[in-house]
Amino acid sequence: MAPGPDIGAFTSAGNRYGSLNQDYVEVWRPEAAGAAAPGGGAAAPLLIGAVLDGHGILGESAARTGGAAVVRELRRLVGLCGGGGGKGAGGKWEGANGAADAVGGGAHAGAAGGDGGAGRETGSSGAATAGPRSSGGGDSPAGGAAAPRPPLVGLPESELAALVDAAFRAAHASALALYDDPPRTCSYPDARTGAAAVYCLKPEAQGGLHVYTAPAGARTAAGFRPLECGATCTVALLQGRRLVVGNVGDSSAVLGSLDDEGGVTARLLTRQHCGLHPEEAARIEAGYAGRVRILPNDGYMSVSAPSLWAGYELGVTRALGHKHMESFGVLHSPSVAVVDLRPEDCCVVLASDGVWDVMEPREVVNRVMDSLSDGKGPAAAARQLVEDAIALAQGAPGGDADNTSAVVIALPLGG
């Protein structure tokens, strides 16, 4: 493993929805340790990783725009983003979404869609590098260079939680912007066959609601699909020995550690925002009784109020986007965990439910550490994890694999 921390990611469409991949991964890291903070002064290198799992028609767009926005805003708020544009503190930005061919790390690979290949990898091995994207404005009210912000370790936990919450608000706003000018046509899998079908936007919104008409024979209520999309989002920031994780939805993060017997342990860092979580179920039942009910078997929330949305089901109670589900209790405010890393901590893994549906957290850490111990970088370790998860899913009864993604942060052992 590299002497310092490093980060990489991989995403693949699986086979459940053909070539459609509504997951999105993004990582950011400085090009060199000790990159200068804006305005001068040294700051510990910052690593950021994000995994998003889109859902609904245009869910892949919600994941992509939300993921790009949350990382961009986190960089700005932490203070490593340059003032008006350019390369800022100097780093690599890599995002991927869609079933495209694997690309080397450092490549700017943010386009959706793809050619149905194996997946898309982002990490530290590629030669092509894109400078980090600017937030579009100066960090200093006077328009000059901003003074260095303290590193994550110097901020109290309440400030860190507020920082992550602000980034999620920005990401949520970016996802909601999709509703302002949706595309005239889009591809979405048929519920019965999984095959892609082309949906057409009705010329006029009905009461502020955009509606896509379904192809003949597609399995949708009343022959249309209202535009309602969103994405889970899990992010991790690492600077020095301070780790900050925020999430909405059910894409989880774990911290892997070595134990005294040479094995590994796995600590869950995220909260599952669904009806199976007691606090989330209580919140929905207290605030939306008679309008929403929690399904007992899988924790899905189901709209029961008489409306166009009656019968609509959603597997998460918090997410980015979901403009119309906000009135039924779906929040975009994240749960935040702040961890001061120990010498025995060895990796952080963020993944969509395509991984967690087939592996327990300890198995995930074991597989990642096996890859890292074999000399693979974090991007290759993420790819191996995703491909293993897809193979397990395809070998199970039913034989279908969900969109599957992972971000791996490799930690230097001993501090």
141-158 pLDDT, tens digit each: 344 444 454 578 888 999
Distance in angstroms (rounded) separating the CA atoms of residues 183 and 83: 33
Identify the H or E element spanning 52.
Answer: strand 46-55
Q: What integer pLDDT is reported at residue 2 of this predicted model?
A: 54
HSE-up of residue 63 (Cα within 13 Å, Cβ side) = 36
Does position 243 have pLDDT exceeding 70, yes or no?
yes
pLDDT at 190: 74
Instruction: Quote the percentage of the chain above a pLDDT of 70.
Output: 77
Q: Look up residue 332 and give its amino acid.
A: H
The reported pLDDT for the residue numbered 195 is 73
pTM for this prediction: 0.84
Residue 113, CA atoms < 13 Å, CB-side half-sphere: 4
Which strands sit side by side in the sheet containing 292-294, from one edge to the other?
A: 292-294, 301-303, 313-314
| pLDDT at residue number 119 | 62
Q: Is the confidence at residue 81, as pLDDT, over 60?
A: no
- Least confident span in 25-29, 124-128, 370-374, 388-392: 124-128
Handedness of CA 363, 372, 74, 154 (dihedral sign): positive
> Taking a C-beta distance cutoff of 8 angstroms, is the pair 407, 71 a contact?
no
Judged by average pLDDT, the poorest of 122-136, 146-160, 163-177 is 122-136
DSSP assignment of 92-141 equals EEEEE-SS-----TT---------S-S-EEESS--S---PPPP-SS-SST
**What's the rounded mean pLDDT across residues 228-243?**
96
277-289 mean pLDDT: 94
- For residue 222, the model assigns a pLDDT of 55
DSSP conformational letter for 327? G
pLDDT in tens, 27-64: 998 874 434 443 344 557 899 999 999 999 999 999 99
- 3 state DSSP class of 184: coil
Greatest CA separation for the chain: 65
Residue with tokens 């082309």: 198
**Mean pLDDT over residues 65-92, rounded?**
69
Three-class SS of residue 379?
helix
Per-residue pLDDT at 277 exceeds 60: yes
Please name the residues in contact with 348: beta carbons below 8 A apart, sequence gap of 6 or more: 49, 236, 238, 243, 245, 253, 254, 255, 256, 269, 408, 409, 411
Q: Is a pLDDT exceeding 90 seen at residue 191?
A: no
* pLDDT, position 404: 98
In the chain, what are the domains? 6-179+229-272+335-410 (3.60.40.10), 185-226 (no CATH), 278-328 (no CATH)
